[in-house]
Amino acid sequence: MRTVSMNRRRILCAASAAAMALAGLPALAQEAAAPAPAPLPQLTDGKLPALADGFPSRQIVLLVVDEPGSTDSVFASQLAEAASKISPQPVVVEHRIDFTNFGTWEALAWVKDQGDIASQGYISFIYTLPDATIDLLAIDIESQVGVGLDDLNGIVGAERVPIVMIQRTGAPWGDTLDGLVAYAKENPAKVRHISGGPGSGHDATMQAWVRRLGIQVNDIIGGTPAERALAVASGEGDINTSPVDVFQPHMDAGRVVPLMVSGKDLPPPWDKLPSAQGSLGWTDDPFGQVRAVAGSPDVPAEHRQWLNDLYRLAMQDPDYRRKREQISGLQIMDLDHDGLNQLAETAIETVKPIYQEKGIYWADAQ
């Protein structure tokens, strides 16, 4: 696994912050026990047998709504390579870079329009949650693109990359979460949050977290995830939420400090930080970037299940796991259609009242 360096004192202080940050929070519903994954089918002569109706009888396309070499592209290529080893038909990756406004939803609408080839399950696409869900709250996606949440036919949730709250080095409150909270409560809206703006999954994460912590921040909208992390590293902002691979170079250079992380049961060194679903006890917190595969809404359930089996088996491939686990903090997952729906619904339930409070929930303006 990729090596990540953290100052020992910062790790220990950040871990001790959990008790203070949790104090005063309302009681939360107990986290429901996750259902056990369905058993994996057996291979026949090293291949996953085709279904009785002959599916699949042609190549399977994984669509990436981004440029070749992007994080989604690398994931898709590695998953397709592993899946092709055990599939009776090859799995290939194609890219579309012309979906610019609402990528997931434009891709879904395009796939839906491809007719029988899509409705049988031969085209699917990569998307991330809860980012895609947040779009639905900020913009009337269904009227603009023609599809909505009910059309998002998730096949498998393959992995989660944690989202981390980072701060600039040398902040006046020190370098721990409890220091930030104490300072922000004494100085409301003085802490500068470099935000992705309404509809951004990273912004929604921060908005939910600061409310849980009982603090107010000054939201400053600024650029891409990389540009926002750079703004914090250069001292133009104070805090930000960011995936590990985006802020890693700045942390290695000593320019940013991680304060807390999404998820729970994280691999080292992220297990030393206060975690939303772990030490902080926010059991209904949906955040983190879950990378998933979805198909057309009319793919038959048996075809969707076959594809789920294919990708779950591919994710057991040792070479695939070795490549994916080089990404610091990445957790290989096993979410099925229902699990992905639950994650999307939890994200909406969490973020909708926040957007209503801020006056940016699109439906309230109708």
The angle subtended at Cα 347 by Cα 152 and Cα 279, nearest 5°, is: 135
Per-residue model confidence (pLDDT) at position 102:
80
Rounded Cα–Cα distance for residues 13 and 259 (Å):
10
- Output the CA torsion sign for 214, 329, 127, 157: negative
Give the DSSP H or E segment for 301: helix 301-314
DSSP label at 165?
Answer: E
Per-residue model confidence (pLDDT) at position 36:
66
Helix axes 201-213, 177-186, angle to 10 degrees: 70
Q: Which of 150, 72, 161 is nearest to 108 (CA)?
A: 150
CB count within 10 Å of CB 68 equals 13
Q: Structure tokens of 211?
A: 């409310």
168 phi, psi to nearest 5 deg = -70, 150
Per-residue model confidence (pLDDT) at position 131:
87
Per-residue model confidence (pLDDT) at position 21:
38
Q: Which residues contact 41 (CB under 8 A, 6 or more apart)?
A: 48, 49, 309, 313
Rounded Cα–Cα distance for residues 71 and 323 (Å):
13
CB 244 within 8 A of CB 328: yes
Task: Provide the residue-wise pLDDT of the chain in tens; the chain has 366 residues.
Answer: 333 444 433 433 444 343 333 333 333 333 344 556 778 999 999 999 999 999 999 999 999 999 999 889 999 999 999 999 999 999 999 999 888 668 899 999 999 999 999 999 999 999 999 888 998 998 999 999 999 999 999 999 999 999 999 999 999 999 999 999 999 999 999 999 999 888 788 999 999 999 999 999 999 998 888 999 999 999 999 999 998 888 999 999 999 999 999 998 898 899 999 999 999 999 889 999 999 999 999 999 999 999 999 999 999 999 999 999 999 999 999 999 999 999 999 999 999 999 999 898 999 876
Q: Structure tokens of 83?
A: 């899946």
DSSP 208-258: HHHHHHT---EEEE-SSHHHHHHHHHTTS-SEEEEEHHHHHHHHHTTSEEE
Q: Which of 208, 211, 49, 65 is nearest to 124 (CA)?
A: 65
Tens of pLDDT, residues 132-178: 899 899 899 999 999 999 999 999 999 999 999 999 999 999 999 99
Give Cα separations from 170 to 150, 190, 232 (angstroms).
46, 16, 11
